[in-house]
Structure 1
Amino acid sequence: MIRYPDRALKTIGVTAPSSGVPKELHHVLETAISQLEKQGYAVKSSPNSWTQLEAKSSPAAVRAKELVNIWRDSRVDAIIPPWGGELLFELMEHLDFQKLTPKWLLGYSDISLLSLAITLNTGIATAHGTNIVDLRGTETDPTTARWADVLALTKGAVIKQVSSERYQKTWDHDKPTPQVFHLTEPTIWKTVSGHAERLEGRLLGGCIDVIRHLIGTPYGGIEAFRKKFIPGEPVIWFLENCDMNTTDLKRSLLQMKYAGWFDNCSGIVFGRSEANDPVQGYTAEMVYQELAEQLKIPVIYDADIGHQPPQVILINGVNATFHVEDGKGRIFQELR
């Protein structure tokens, strides 16, 4: 049985299990914290939220210790790291997962490796979506704003989200907006079949660039997770590509397939991506088509997941239903 947090959202903890915020960008995190405080939240940050050296906020053992300390702090109701990074994978050997009790963790990119590992090893639900620095705007778009609703959920709750109206194609930090993002492009969720699709199952996923590295390690035991926490239930995988070209994406998906990660899979949802660079005419759409045919499952793509915001907030471990029709998406998540 999946374990869900059961507490009101009053205090947010900030710690940097991957990259922290260097001194020249402290104002970005300070503004985000200020905006959250204006909304009535208390915010507690760990020291490594404010440091960055050699591609990480601090040494792996320190990052693990600060994460566990803030996780076990009874005053903290949810944890939102500043952003992702590169070397979160170093934490795995330093974490005692059994010290973690149900508490929301929200993030994406490199943070999704930690989120998935926690859910697989403990059955604790974790959330995939916005990081804290992207909450620094004086306004929040309707899609991103659902982060607060999700982190206020407890067992038995049901939440509905819908696809965004527009998305951000590229980052443009030199032209700040009240919402942080530049939402200029029409959002269109697509299906490989070209028809309406409905997927139902337990959600698992994250940034494929990093979660693929859990395969074959003691921290990526998908079969043991299935047997202990969701016996017999199908899985919907949600995946997004940060940096890979299409052949690297295909190799990564094949690795997941060969490792049994797609066993009893009811469908896959891919997020939009600035990557997915074609190799000799081999496109991401071809990858999706082949995957749908090989696994005999529906595949949705260009969804509101990942590095081209805004993002819907998805919960690892939750029972979910995806409906896609006429370019629009609806997601129902039930905490059972």
Structure 2
Amino acid sequence: MIRYPLLKEGAVIGTTAPSSGVEESMHDLIREASRRLENEGFQVIAGDTVWTQTKAKSAPAKVRAAEFNHMLRDDAIDLIVPPWGGELLIEILEHLDFDSMPEKWILGYSDISLLLLAITLKTGLATAHGTNLVDLRGEYSDETTAMWRTVLSTETGGSVLQRSSAKYQKEWNHAAPSPYVFHLTELTDWKTVSGGKVSLKGRLLGGCIDVIRHVIGTPFGDVRRFQQEQIGGEPILWYLENCELNMADLRRSMVQMKLAGWFDHCAGLMFGRSPANRPIEGYTAEDMYRELEEELQVPVIYDIDCGHVPPQITLINGAYAEAQVENGQGEIKQYFRP
């Protein structure tokens, strides 16, 4: 049974850095994002880990875990949004209090997606894969990113529809800051392996392949138990995105997931746009997508609004979803079914 938190007006947002914190030279990004959110009626409380970063982490694992556990238990905090991802979130998993997690949204992506997936798999608590705190600092927000508030305000039993973006950002241009944060210049084009219309239905799970693959075979990656005990054997609809893996490493990761049973009773795969996907000896992402569709006998769609090439849709781990792609455009309707 899936439990869904509910975001209310005037919520208090706690920001903590369970992966990477923010170097001093970029502290203004956090202050600016906090001001924008406060102007929209939120209150932002920043933990100590947000302001520090050394040796690829904000603080030692136990310190990061303690601050995250504290914000989870603090009734005054309604939502947790880390500043951004990072590299070594996996270090904190063994120190988290999974046995008493309250119904509180946790929102983020990249390395944070490992935290989200582990929480949903172990507890049945829905978690939100979407924007991070620093990307909420813009004077304006694009329509796709802005949907995070609507999605997290959906009540249990309700539903929410999101559509593919009009344009996406090909590359960052920090020399020319945008009031929207992102520089959306390229036409969005959701694709299918078949080239035709595709419809998918299932319970959402996913995240950044680079990091979630590392909990396969551990207590934090028991997909089979989750499927049997939390969602009554319903099929899983995977959304996945690649941050840094070349195509050989990505293919190895997909095979590992398959051999571990993660794709058993699977409704389909949805891949986000990627800044990586570097071909190896002519072996491309499109080659891999075709192979997966043939091997798993489920539809594969790709270049959706998810991951490190913004903007991105807010996807809820544990929610039942209906996804449809046709003529380069797509939509995902999520149902907050227990």
TM over 0.5: yes
Q: Deviation per CA, 1:287-321, whole angstroms, max 9, x where unpaired?
A: 00000000000000000000000000000000000
Deviation at 1:7, TM superposition (A): 5.2
Does residue 111 of structure 2 align to residue 119 of structure 1?
no
Do the aligned partners of 1:20 and 1:56 also contact (CA within 8 Å) in 2?
yes
Which stretch shifts more, 70-79 or 309-318?
70-79
Deviation at 1:206, TM superposition (A): 0.2
> Distance in 2 between the 1:319 and 1:143 partners?
20
Q: Deviation per CA, 1:260-279, whole angstroms, max 9, x where unpaired?
A: 00000010000000100000
> Distance in 2 between the 1:173 and 1:152 partners?
32
Tell me the residue number matched to 2:5.
Answer: 5
Q: How many residues align?
A: 336
Tell me the residue number matched to 2:158.
Answer: 157
Deviation at 1:173, TM superposition (A): 1.2
Tell me the residue number matched to 1:204.
Answer: 205
> Distance in 1 between the 2:267 and 2:154 partners?
25
Tell me the residue number matched to 1:130.
Answer: 131
- What TM-score, normalized by structure 1, do the two folds share? 0.99
> Distance in 2 between the 1:115 and 1:32 partners?
22
Q: Deviation per CA, 1:9-64, whole angstroms, max 9, x where unpaired?
A: 51111000000111111001100000000011011111111111111010000000
Do the aligned partners of 1:146 and 1:312 also contact (CA within 8 Å) in 2?
yes
Task: Tell me the secondary structure at the aligned position of residue 254 of structure 1.
Answer: helix
Tell me the residue number matched to 1:101.
Answer: 102
Q: Deviation per CA, 1:109-150, whole angstroms, max 9, x where unpaired?
A: 000000000000000000001101000000000000001111
**Structure 2 counterpart of 1:254, which letter?**
V
Does the C-alpha gap of structure 1 residues 194 and 7 become closer, same or farther in structure 2, counting only changes over 3 Å? closer
Structure 1 residues without counterparts, runs of 5 or longer: none
Tell me the residue number matched to 2:73.
Answer: 72
**Structure 2 counterpart of 1:104, which letter?**
W
Q: Deviation per CA, 1:129-186, whole angstroms, max 9, x where unpaired?
A: 1101000000000000001111222211210000000000111111100100000000
Do the aligned partners of 1:117 and 1:219 also contact (CA within 8 Å) in 2?
yes
RMSD of aligned C-alpha atoms? 0.8
- What TM-score, normalized by structure 2, do the two folds share? 0.98
> Distance in 2 between the 1:7 and 1:182 partners?
28
Deviation at 1:69, TM superposition (A): 0.4
**Structure 1 counterpart of 2:8, which letter?**
A
Task: Tell me the secondary structure at the aligned position of residue 302 of structure 1.
Answer: strand
Tell me the residue number matched to 1:265.
Answer: 266
Which stretch shifts more, 285-294 or 44-53?
44-53
**Structure 1 counterpart of 2:248, which letter?**
T
Question: Within 5 Å, which residues of 2 pair with 1:1-336?
Answer: 1-6=1-6, 8-9=8-9, 10-336=11-337
Point out 4+ residue stretches in structure 1 off by more than 2 angstroms.
none
**Structure 2 counterpart of 1:192, which letter?**
V
> Distance in 2 between the 1:219 and 1:144 partners?
29
Structure 2 residues without counterparts, runs of 5 or longer: none
> Distance in 1 between the 2:150 and 2:78 partners?
14
> Distance in 1 between the 2:95 and 2:58 partners?
15
> Distance in 1 between the 2:46 and 2:105 partners?
15
Do the aligned partners of 2:257 and 2:263 also contact (CA within 8 Å) in 1?
yes
